[in-house]
Amino acid sequence: MNSQERPPDYKNASLPVERRVADLLSRMTLEEKVAQLTCLWGSRPQVNPQTDFSTDRGDFSPAKAAEVMKHGIGQIARQRERKDPRKGAEFANAVQKWLRENTRLGIPAILHDEILHGHMAKGSTSFPQPIALATTWDPEFITKVFTAGALETRARGSHQVLGPNLDLARDARWGRTEETYGEDPYLTSRMGVAIVKALQGAGPGVDDSHVIATAKHFTAHGQPESGTNIGPINVSERALRESFLPSFKAAVVEGGIMSVMPSYNEIDGIPSHANKWLLQKVLREEWGFTGHVVSDYYAIPQMMDLHRIAPDKATTAKLALEAGVDAETPDPDSFPTLLQLVKEGKVSEATINQAVARNLRAKFLLGLFENPYVDVERAVRVTNSAEHRALAAEAARRSITLLKNENNLLPLNLASLKSIAVIGPNAAQVHLGGYSDEPGRGVSVLQGIKDKVGDKVKVSYAEGCKITKEGGNWFADTSRLSDPAEDQKLIAEAVNVARSADVALLVLGGNEDTNKEAWADNHLGDRDSLDLVGQQNELVKAVKATGKPVIVMLINSGPLSINYIAENVPAILEGFYLGQETGVGVADVLFGDYNPAGKLTISFPRSVGQLPLYYNRKPTARRGYLFANKEPLFPFGFGLSYTTFAYSNVKVSPAKIGPGDRATVSVTVTNTGKRAGDEIVQLYIRDLVSSMTRPIMELKDFRRIPLAPGESKTVEFVITPDKLSFLDLNMKDVVEPGWFDVMVGTSSVKYETVKLEVVAK
């Protein structure tokens, strides 16, 4: 009797996870196993279809659940179609309750979501885009942002997020540049590890305030051929290992990431979703990854439709599964054919079992078998809470980079200013960028300034011109340029507004129509030019002709070739996309309540003809062009402040080490101005003579430090062997004897240099 009443091992929370997985797997039918490898999005069990945006789609449908989840389900995609936190949490609970009570084994589902810059769902807090957050060079602060995002996601009933994006942005034409942390592998690695730990928590399990993170897009997605999304990447194994893989390796080895998503692109003729070398040899065997691999949306059937390496969906399913893909998202497309493939002996059930076990392991580590439900009231309480709104405002402040400030035009003096003209197509609207939903709150630059100055300063507004007719719609398939004749009228109005003001702020750049993810032939988002779209330069020229001081605030998705502005406008601020509190951050920086400290993590080209332009180039990479300046408009690591900093006493000790030894680099940094400010101290290294060609410089460490006026601090960096090593002819890590330049400074073009010698032992 006692034996009969004892629950099965998989329901016993006191047993090791691996034993619970094995027990559950042994009880499953083949149909139940294949169901665990699939996901629902368009056919989710809800009253109205996912594509129906005219109604509240929060209601769970038991009848549809019986149709689409009769054998259970592995995952359910995206809570963003839920109307609000309450509806989302209620839907999630209904799904889990039905699975627990109406399927044979009661296996819960993983609900997954996007978290590029906060939970992508109605009402959730929208933080700055990653390319903006990266300018903080502050992993500790990034931890706070993604801890908040994880909480809002889990509270609503989701368990896994498709992020962080660990791609390197090596071609600014690419519409997904905004999703990255820039062009450098070291900085991206540091940000990535911080984000993974913030999302997943302390481990080894994932508690009810955290989620499973998914590293994407594995790999080399950010330098596609022609700069167009999902284009082939034609690089060597050496380039992969030294540039594109380090951020993913750090997420696995240091961050303990629990999920990985392959990229859409091909490498050396092999699509990543069929790349056994990438997903098995490198990811699992070399790095020791034990989590589950999820496909990118529709990437598996694309091996038939786009890559043309398979004649049918059954073949794509076999290729992906045997390469190491454990789950198909977002809908059951190719993987349902696995049922017949096993029956025909074309795919082994052992291979199915391996993938199913990885997915089940994630569910056990999430604690879903013990409690798959969420507290609806908690979801409402934590979503876009006052604390998270304050954090989003701080993120907006920290994500602004001062690119130019002639004659200290900035910050504006509120005491002496009588009127300000706020002009431009991005002044009165909040632009969040891609993978955003409606946060329920948004402060434009215009509103932020009005809130800041109150009745002390007259604020006048003019649109000035338009960028696109749609005004910025990331989901729209069309992107139409504005009408030049209409723009000329708007420019004339803006000139009149500027003439009556003491100073003009032009809020320019791009919007969600001018750069975005190009996910289909009829939904383009990449560019063949980085110039300002439309009549924006003409607007700048017209306002500047009034003789009034001009400030440009850029809101955009990535680097722009703003040559005229850089040469002719005295003050320039770059914000990229600053999130829901855009106006709060801009106003605080504009009027000096916050001293900007951002530093660019991606080089700004003068034209697309310079691309690729990443700073850590090889010695032969940039001979130059006829009739053109070969240097970037604004370099990697660059950013000004309302104060000034001086570097002195750069030392390395000892100055001579063995290949396995360490050295310490120290530098004294002094705030030589009259304002408190943060400085981002950057350490670069160059191997002067090596058996393989090496970059002219590589970022190897950085530190963000606050300094009061006149204050000095000594910053120390430890040079470990991994900071000096590279892959030799046999693709083995080696530190070769010889001389190294150690560069410490404020950017990749302004630094002090000391020599370090490595001697053979």
**Integer Cα distance of 582 and 576 in angstroms:** 10
Flag whether pLDDT at 80 surpasses 80.
Answer: no
Average pLDDT of the residues in 295-323: 98
| Cα three-residue angle 35-38-41, rounded to 5 degrees | 120
Please, what sign has the CA dihedral across residues 617, 626, 528, 231?
Answer: negative
Helices 582-590 and 386-398, interaxial angle, to 10°?
Answer: 50
pLDDT at position 55 over 60:
no
pLDDT at position 79, please? 74
Q: Lay out the sheet containing 39-40: strands in order across.
A: 39-40, 75-77, 110-113, 160-161
HSE of 614, CA atoms in CB hemisphere, 13 A = 20
Mean of pLDDT values over 51-69: 77
What are the pLDDT digits (tens) for 203-225?
999 999 999 999 999 999 999 99
Task: Return the pLDDT at 58.
Answer: 58
Quick one: DSSP state of residue 15?
A: S
Two tokens at 371? 């409690």
**128 secondary structure, DSSP code:** P
Which residues are marked as active site?
A: 296
DSSP string, 306-323: TS---SSHHHHHHHHHHH
Strand intervals (E) in 510-576:
550-555, 571-574
Residue 433: count other Cβ atoms within 10 Å of its Cβ: 30
Alpha-carbon gap, residue 605 to 631, rounded angstroms:
8
Checking if the pLDDT of 756 tops 80, the result is: yes
What local confidence, expressed as pLDDT, does residue 165 receive?
A: 98
Predicted pLDDT at 1? 41
At 652 the pLDDT is: 98
- The confidence band for 52, taking pLDDT boundaries of 50, 70 and 90, is low
Higher pLDDT, 78 or 55: 78
Into which CATH architecture does domain 395-610 fall? 3-Layer(aba) Sandwich (3.40)
Rounded CA-CA distance 127/123 in Å is: 12
Cα–Cα distance measured from residue 555 to residue 401, given in angstroms and rounded to the nearest whole number: 11
Indicate whether 505 pLDDT > 50: yes
Enter the DSSP assignment of 244. I
Share of the chain above pLDDT 70, in %: 98
> Tokens 């470990």 label which residue?
720
pLDDT in tens, 687-716: 999 999 999 999 999 999 999 999 999 999
Q: Which residue intervals of 420-500 are DSSP H helices?
A: 445-453, 484-499
pLDDT digits (tens, 9 = 90+) for 310-366: 999 999 999 999 999 999 999 999 999 999 999 999 999 999 999 999 999 999 999
Greatest Cα pair distance in the chain: 93
For residues 88 and 379, is the Cβ–Cβ distance under 8 A? yes
Residue that the structure tokens 């700048």 belong to: 540
User: What pLDDT is stored for residue 48 in this prediction?
Assistant: 78
**Cα–Cα dist 598/24, whole Å:** 51
Side chain identity at 52, as an amino acid letter? D
Does an H or E element contain 151, and which? helix 139-155
Q: Quick one: which of 391, 87, 377, 374 has its CA closest to 207?
A: 374
Mean pLDDT, residues 248-277: 98
CB neighbour list of residue 746: distance below 8 Å, 6 or more residues apart: 637, 645, 647, 679, 680, 681, 682
- Please say if the pLDDT value at position 155 is more than 60: yes
Q: Is the pLDDT of residue 51 over 70?
A: no
489-493 average pLDDT score? 98
Q: Which two tokens stand for residue 165?
A: 């994006």
The domain locations on the chain are 395-610, 645-758
Residue 83 has pLDDT above 90, yes or no: no
Which residues neighbour 341 within 8 Å (Cβ) at sequence distance 6 or greater? 314, 317, 318, 347
List CB contacts of 336: < 8 A, sequence separation 6 or more: 34, 38
| Distances from the Cα of 467 to the Cα of 132, 479, 506, 545, 696, angstroms | 21, 10, 13, 21, 38
Q: Rounded mean pLDDT of 549-576?
A: 98
Residue range 645-758 forms a domain whose CATH class is mainly beta
pLDDT, the chain, mean: 96
pLDDT higher than threshold 60 for residue 3: no
Mean pLDDT across the stretch 436-459?
A: 97
For 760, other C-beta atoms within 10 Å of its C-beta total 8
Looking at the chain, the whole-number percentage of residues with pLDDT higher than 90 is 96
